[in-house]
């Protein structure tokens, strides 16, 4: 009897230790939000409490909960960074700025292109991020700066390819009725929001092809849904969406993925006023709100 009790005790100690330790190791590598991790820990604690209710049933239920949590956490685990490098344009503020910080935290080598390399956004990136992040001047409408950025990236990578290029830089332009928007503004929006990303893509595609990476183009909901007062901006973003769709087909044979993202409204340095957004989204054809 004592031998049986001894074996049972060892089993009761060993199984929770092995399963719980495995789940906790997986949990530590999981990038999920804090609340999901808290739920996992609560589940582990609840499973452990079940052991006090009934020895074998508690052990079975605890083991089952560990298996389920391990499966869940496996789906949340990120791919290994492995010295992967990402180029992001338009990193002075907004989405590009936040993305650079996040990628740096994950361990990526980040090339942050900014419109003003001495501006507050660039300085903040240098101060808050690791040495893996390189900030450099990159006006995507300036071919010379694109060429210079390409040279810096190639020199830093030393034969490696780029894991991703994120074409994020863009402008909204002058929000007004299409009839009233100056032609200079139409041309400016097309230059920054369409021709710029196209030129950056053409310059860095060989590096993407080398690593079978991905091209990420940040477009806009205005490029897929007509919005009043955004004729210039929406047209340029629609052109970027079509370019992305065509490149996706052409680059698939090289193993290069093409992703186009259509963000909603974000508060950045180039955000529209709430009044313009309200009119763009909610005004019906008859003009009533």
pLDDT digits (tens, 9 = 90+) for 228-250: 999 999 999 999 999 999 999 99
Same domain, yes or no: 71 and 100: no
Our count of domains for the chain comes to 2
**Active-site positions?**
233
Last residue of a domain, one of 76, 94, 122: 76
Q: Is the same domain home to 218 and 263? A: yes
pLDDT score of 277: 43
The answer on pLDDT for 131 being more than 60 is yes
What pLDDT, in 10s, does the model give residues 153-200? 999 999 999 999 999 999 998 899 999 999 999 999 999 999 999 999
Q: Does residue 270 sit in the same domain as residue 135?
A: yes
Select the more confidently predicted residue: 64 or 54: 64
Per-residue pLDDT at 195 = 98
In a domain, 165, yes or no: yes
- Structural domain of 67: 2-76
**CATH code at position 138:** 3.40.50.720
Amino acid 208: pLDDT:
97
* End-of-domain residue from the set 56, 76, 96: 76
pLDDT tens, position by position, 22-46: 655 655 555 555 445 555 555 555 5
Residue 54 pLDDT > 80, yes or no?
Answer: no
Low-confidence winner among 155-169, 196-210, 261-275 (lowest mean pLDDT): 261-275
Claim to verify: residue 166 and residue 131 sit in the same structural domain:
yes
The pLDDT tens digits for 6-20 are 555 555 556 555 656
Specify whether 72 is located in the same domain as 90.
Answer: no
- Do residues 62 and 116 both lie within one domain? no
Are 140 and 56 contained in the same domain? no
Q: Cα 82 to chain center, whole Å?
A: 17
Q: Among 76, 97, 114, give the residue marking a domain's end.
A: 76
The pTM of this model reads: 0.71
Do 205 and 243 have their domain in common? Answer: yes
In a domain, 120, yes or no: yes
- Say yes or no: 185 and 60 in one domain: no
């Amino acid at each position: 009897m004592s031998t049986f009790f001894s074996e049972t005790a060892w089993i009761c100690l060993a199984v929770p230790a092995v399963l719980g330790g495995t789940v906790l190791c997986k949990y530590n590598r999981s990038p999920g939000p804090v609340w999901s991790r808290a739920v996992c820990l609560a589940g582990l604690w609840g499973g452990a409490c079940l052991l006090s209710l009934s020895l074998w049933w508690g052990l079975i239920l605890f083991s089952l909960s560990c298996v389920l949590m391990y499966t869940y956490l496996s789906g949340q685990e990120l791919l290994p960074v492995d010295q992967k490098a990402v180029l992001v344009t338009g990193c002075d503020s907004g989405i590009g700025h936040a993305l650079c910080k996040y990628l740096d935290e994950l361990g990526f080598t980040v090339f942050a292109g900014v419109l003003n390399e001495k501006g507050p956004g660039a300085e903040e990136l240098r101060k808050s991020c690791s040495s893996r992040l390189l900030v450099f001047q990159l006006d995507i409408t300036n071919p010379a700066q694109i060429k210079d950025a390409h040279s810096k990236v190639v020199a830093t990578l030393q034969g490696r390819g780029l894991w991703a290029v994120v074409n994020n830089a863009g402008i909204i332009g002058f929000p007004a009725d299409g009839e009233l928007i100056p032609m200079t503004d139409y041309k400016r929006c097309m230059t920054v929001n369409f021709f710029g990303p196209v030129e950056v893509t053409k310059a860095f595609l060989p590096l993407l092809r080398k690593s079978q990476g991905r091209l990420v183009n940040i477009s806009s909901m205005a490029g897929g849904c007509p919005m009043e007062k955004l004729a210039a901006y929406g047209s340029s973003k629609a052109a970027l969406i079509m370019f992305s769709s065509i490149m996706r087909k052409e680059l698939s044979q090289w193993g290069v993925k093409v992703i186009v993202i259509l963000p909603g409204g974000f508060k950045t340095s180039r955000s529209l006023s709430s009044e313009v957004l309200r009119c763009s989204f909610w005004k019906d054809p008859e003009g009533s709100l």
